[in-house]
Amino acid sequence: MDDPQPNQWSKAIGAYVGVLSTLLALATAELLALIFPGNPSPVFGIAGRVIDLTPADIRENLITVVGTNDKLFLGIGIVLVVLALGAVVGTKFRNRPESAWTVYVILGLVLGVIAAPSAYILWSIAASVIGGLVGWAILVALLRRRVDAETNQQQPALSRRGFLLASGVVAVVAAGGITTIAAIRSSREQGVERVRSALSLPRPVKKALPVPAGAAVDVKGMTPPVTPNDDFYRIDTALTPPTVDVTNWSLSISGKVDNPFTLTYADLMAMPQIQKRVTLACVSNPVGGDLVGNALWQGVPLTALLDRAGVQPGAQQIVGESVDGFTVAFPLELALDGREPLVAVGMNDEPLPVLHGFPARLVVPGLYGYVSATKWLSKIRLTTMAEETPFWVQNGWIADGRIAAASRIDVPSSDAEVRVGNVVVAGRAWHQEVAVGAVEVSVDSGPWQSTKLADSMGIDCWRLWSWNWAATPGQHRIEVRMIDANGTVQSSRRTDPGPGPSSGYDQIMIDVSD
Ligand SMILES: Nc1nc2c(c(=O)[nH]1)N[C@H]1C(S)=C(S)[C@@H](COP(=O)(O)O)O[C@H]1N2
Ligand SMILES: [Mo]
């Protein structure tokens, strides 16, 4: 085989150096982002915009998508795109790297603007442009050319050895920088976790009733009445959960109020707190899905904050904004109809876990998370409907976020080995606002049969149910449906989530052996 053409070699070297230069540019910008106000990370910022701008046809799955480790792939994808751009720039400018500076500055500017968290655009631009200039300096240092005095021809300023050595050093520095960034990020997370675990919740002025012993269904594999924090589903747009320093955190109440005010964490902790057990659900939960959890929340009643602020007559909705700029909104009247929304600081007798919104979040009984449950809460605003459209509604989800009637089968799981005879079928049902009236099951499209409801934990919570099935050999299909306290049967129309909640009966297929 012949040697590759010299020109192809120089292209490959240009691409390689271009990749190295953008890797170091990104590492520099990310490192600066850790120090700069607002922590304007280019990679996480761009990922946030990608999530915001995802087109309508994939929008339906958006909430669940960002709830999984697809976020990691999004981050890696963004880095790869930037490195690919670097390869192109390195190839194009391999013989005149000095003049590439405009490209690096423009790329830095564009990235900085796109990635900017709302209030920190200048810091974001500064981080990306400085990163870009460092990348350019690397390109120049490695690809610089000089004119040979004897032949009067251009040739690389670095010897082959010098080039290998220098590019090796750059690669090591970039790898070291990225490791450092990861280490700083994780130590920040641990720092917040240390602060959080040292905190304790004040004694509530009103405690929730204890969970009745009969609220559980005692069968192997069945969901407990209250979801432990580690098992509670997590859905949000945050690539990494915001790490909030409680000594600097504050919560402001503003907009159409007479007396806008701001609370520190200490202020909030000093206010009378109550406990409430509430089932939180995600609108993108498919039929039979797991994006629902029941916890004991502790916090300050939202109405206490509204009373202190003095809501003006023109106010129509409550907007909750997080430290990372995510917003939800729900009608003011739903906060005032007695359902007792909370600014929650505690979850199952612990300070709110970081993943679930530390230091404070909104919890509004009966409303889906996407319209109500702002985690890492920093601002509450009273506005008119026209003034502000919340995040998920901008993304096509319906504005009415009341939780629909739903039921599901938890056991047996579809892959369970089931023998002929008595089999316990059990699950959960919920219809906050109205309450569960009855749960029925049907085997192989046979008649609907009543199940036994476990004790209620209150209308804001799901209710467990169970049914003794005399299982016969063969394959069977079991369906479940809920009838609410008003006698309304849950909708049987099968729909997927988006732009509203899913509907239809959950079912399992079971193979029963002799
Ligand atoms: N800051 C912030 N809060 C948020 C979200 C988010 O993306 N960012 N997602 C909401 C959605 S869609 C749901 S269903 C709930 C989920 O809360 P959890 O993760 O504690 O279960 O949080 C809500 N609060
Ligand atoms: Mo959600």
- What pLDDT is recorded for position 242? 86
- What pLDDT is recorded for position 340? 95
| Residue ranges of domains in the chain, CATH in brackets | 11-193 (no CATH), 213-394 (3.90.420.10), 406-513 (2.60.40.650)
- What pLDDT is recorded for position 71? 66
Q: How far is the CA of 327 from the centre of ligand 2 (A)?
A: 12
Q: Could you give the CA distance from residue 270 to residue 283 in angstroms, rounded to a whole number?
A: 34
C-beta of residue 394 within 8 angstroms of C-beta of residue 328: no
Q: Residue 321: nearest ligand to its CA?
A: 1
Atom index in ligand 1 nearest the CA of residue 392 equals 12
C-beta of residue 431 within 8 angstroms of C-beta of residue 484: yes
- What pLDDT is recorded for position 44? 84
Atom index in ligand 1 nearest the CA of residue 377 equals 1
- The pair of structure tokens assigned to 7 is 């020109």
- What pLDDT is recorded for position 154? 84
- What pLDDT is recorded for position 1? 43
- The pair of structure tokens assigned to 158 is 């670095």
Q: Which amino acid is at 176?
A: G
- What pLDDT is recorded for position 59? 44
C-beta of residue 401 within 8 angstroms of C-beta of residue 364: no
Q: How many CA atoms lie within 13 A of 204 on its CB side?
A: 22
CA distances from 285 to 65, 188, 221, 235, 369 (A): 12, 32, 21, 11, 11
Atom index in ligand 1 nearest the CA of residue 368 equals 14
Mean pLDDT of successive 10-residue segments in the chain (514 residues)?
A: 65 94 95 87 85 59 52 83 96 94 95 83 94 96 89 87 93 92 86 93 96 96 97 84 90 98 97 98 93 97 98 97 90 95 98 96 97 97 92 83 96 89 97 95 98 97 98 96 97 92 96 92
- What pLDDT is recorded for position 13? 92
Q: Could you give the CA distance from residue 288 to residue 209 in angstroms, rounded to a whole number?
A: 28
Neighbours of ion ligand 2 (CB under 5 A): 63, 235, 282, 369-370
Map residue 425 onto helix, strand or coil.
Answer: strand
Map residue 426 onto helix, strand or coil.
Answer: strand
Q: Is 8 exposed, middle or buried (0-12, 13-18, 19+ CB in 10 A)?
A: exposed
- 253: closest CA among 343, 131, 172, 164? 343
- 87: closest CA among 25, 11, 158? 11
Map residue 226 onto helix, strand or coil.
Answer: coil
375 lines ligand 1 (CB under 6 A): yes
Q: Could you give the CA distance from residue 113 to residue 97 in angstroms, rounded to a whole number?
A: 25
- 282: closest CA among 319, 329, 348, 235? 235
**Do the bridges between strand 350-351 and strand 474-484 make them parallel or antiparallel, or are there none, so unpaired?**
unpaired
Q: Residue 237: nearest ligand to its CA?
A: 1
Map residue 244 onto helix, strand or coil.
Answer: coil
Name residues whose C-beta falls within 8 Å of residue 152's C-beta, 6 or more positions apart in sequence.
none
